[in-house]
Amino acid sequence: MINPGTPQTGSVVAIAKWLLLAFSFMLLCSASSAQPVAFGISQQVQQGPTSPVIAAEDILAQISSGEPLNYDNVTITGQLDLTKLSGPVKQSVKITNSRFLGPMNFNAISFDGALDLRGSVFQENASFAKSSFLGDVSLSGAKFRGQADFQNSHFGGQATFISALFLNDTSFGNAQFDGDAVFLNSGFARDVDYNFAQFFRIGSFGDTIFENVSFLETQFDGHTSFLDTKFLGNATFAATSFASDVVFRDAEFLRGSTFGLSSFGGLADFAGVDFKETAYFGGVKFADLAYFVSARFDKDLILEESRLYSMQLDNVTFLEGSTINLNNADFTKFVVHWAIIKDRLEYNGAAYLALVRNYKSLEWFDDADECYYQYRRIGQNEEPWGWSKLSDIISWLSCGYGVRVSYTVFWCLFTILIFGLMFWAGKGMNKFEIEGIELPGDTRLKPSTRVSFTDALYFSIAMFTTSQAPVNTYPVGVYKHLAMAEGILGWFFLGLFVVVLSAVLIR
């Protein structure tokens, strides 16, 4: 039996203390690593060791007294409800890098001065619906863990949301931004809508991360930027108005993207944009350049019923199976080589013919010919059997619908060769030889037994080009009729060759 006071007992106690400390350390490490992360940004907020705690009633009382608020790194407890105020908030309000533990109700409040809530964390729902901000609003670096409601709010000055993080549903529906609206590098982990919102100056959303976002009938009057923005969920820009330039360069649409019925008054820069799902631009109006250079389409590009002034698609990438729909589209300039879209375009006669005219206006005549040729081939395949289909087949084989001079040249050479072989192999012609001058009916004329292949080919060339045999040769038997047929074919193919060649050279 061991006495408690013995050395062995002391060592056991020491070991137990070390084990307890190690276990506590492991618990702290695991708790730290278990903090939730959204968009790569930790939700854990580091508060200072001496962060003062202020009751929401005290904040309300200070605002009511008209005293300016200037707090940093404080914790506000309870519900902050400014609707209890009898009038507008006349002084500036500055509460930065702080934590609001309770819900916030700023509904229908008028802020005459600046509102600065940079770096603050809102643990519960925060509502600014129908509020009016006459001065600048700064929420840069703010984190909204509950719902954030800015519906029907009015921002008279600059609204800054740089690096703000919205972890729950958010709404800026029907909001009005008279000054610049800056959402650079912000993140929206849940649904957010800007439906019917109005941006009268700059709208900046560069490097922002959206889950599901909707800009239904949103109005952008100034320069708008979605540079390097990531749309992780569905992105809806239906009936959105971009009065000035808009930049989506290098943005990523990982789900569906809808721009149906939207209008672009200035430059629309979609260069390098990655569309993982169907890109819908049905009924869109591009009044200026639509710049899609180096864009990538993993699925379909739909431009049905769209109105395009100038669309540039140089170096675009279409994955296997993706298609382009230009049905009933009206465009002045569509800058993309036929080789890129020839196997992607959905068949529509008007769209093909519009592309042919487009390529001719660009002086890309080879592209125009290739486009027209494919248009006729598809139309021929879909046409029922009849005289019209038969004439199309003849047009296809003889001259490639008028755009393949090589087809006609081939038939000319083939006809001469095949008839020459028949005349030679079948002994279908005779040749008279005389030393000196050749005279018809001369007794010195003597028929040869068989002509050479060279003479037969010469005879075929003469019949094909002039319909007349050389003076010292003539066809015999049924080959007289073959010679006549070759002469008729010669006139047809030579005439066709002149017409097709002229159409190519005259342009």
With respect to residue 115, please indicate whether it lies within any of the assigned structural domains: yes
158 and 304 together in one domain: yes
- Tokens for 448, please give them: 């040869």
pLDDT at 53 over 90: yes
Burial class (CB in 10 A: 0-12, 13-18, 19+), 254: middle
* Residue-level pLDDT at 367: 94
Do 414 and 290 share a domain, yes or no? no
Q: Is residue 419 one of the residues assigned to a domain?
A: yes
What is the longest distance spanned by two Cα atoms in the chain?
Answer: 155
The secondary structure of residue 329, as a DSSP letter, is: -
**Residue 448 is assigned to a structural domain of this protein:** yes
Whether residue 64 is contained in a domain is answered as no
Same domain, 237 and 372: yes
Contact 463, 483 (CB under 8 A): yes
Q: Is the pLDDT of residue 386 over 50?
A: yes
369 and 221 in one domain?
yes
pLDDT digits (tens, 9 = 90+) for 204-242: 999 999 999 999 999 999 999 999 999 999 999 999 999
- Which of 58, 53, 80, 77 minimizes the C-alpha distance to 69? 58
Residue 280 lies in a domain: yes
pLDDT in tens, 310-351: 999 999 999 988 999 999 999 989 999 999 999 899 998 999
In a domain, 266, yes or no: yes
Residues 246 and 302 in one domain: yes
Look up the CATH number of the domain holding residue 451: 1.10.287
| pLDDT score recorded for residue 465 | 87
Per DSSP, the residues of 187-220 read: EESS-EE-TT-EE-S-EE-TT-EESSEE-TT-EE
Total domain count, the chain: 2
Report pLDDT for 31.
37
CA distances 386 to 127, 383, 401, Å, are 71, 8, 18
Same domain, 114 and 261: yes
- Are 330 and 419 part of one and the same domain? no
DSSP string, 305-368: T-EEEEEE-TT-EE-TT--EE-TT-EEEEEE--HHHHTTTBPP-HHHHHHHHHHHHHTT-HHHH
Counting residues of the chain whose pLDDT is more than 90, the rounded percentage is 62
**Pick from 276, 281, 289: nearest CA to 261:** 281
Q: Are residues 413 and 373 located together in one domain of the fold?
A: no
* pLDDT beyond 50 at 28: no
Say whether both 339 and 412 belong to one domain: no
Mean pLDDT of 3-17: 43
Q: Alpha-carbon distance 22 to 306, whole Å?
A: 68
Report if residue 427 sits inside a domain: yes
Q: Is residue 96 part of a domain?
A: no
Please report the pLDDT score of residue 505 as a whole number: 73
Indicate if 363 and 433 belong to the same structural domain: no
Domain hosting 423: range is 405-505
How confident is the model at residue 45, as a pLDDT? Answer: 40
For the cut 70, the answer to whether the pLDDT of residue 432 exceeds it is no
Split at pLDDT 50, 70, 90, the class of 71 is very high
DSSP class of 280: E
pLDDT digits (tens, 9 = 90+) for 86-137: 889 999 999 999 999 999 999 999 999 999 999 999 999 999 999 999 999 9
- In this prediction, residue 434 carries a pLDDT of 52
**Same domain as 446, residue 358:** no
pLDDT for residue 38 is more than 70 = no
Q: Are residues 150 and 251 part of one domain?
A: yes
Q: Which residues pair with 77 in a beta bridge?
A: 55
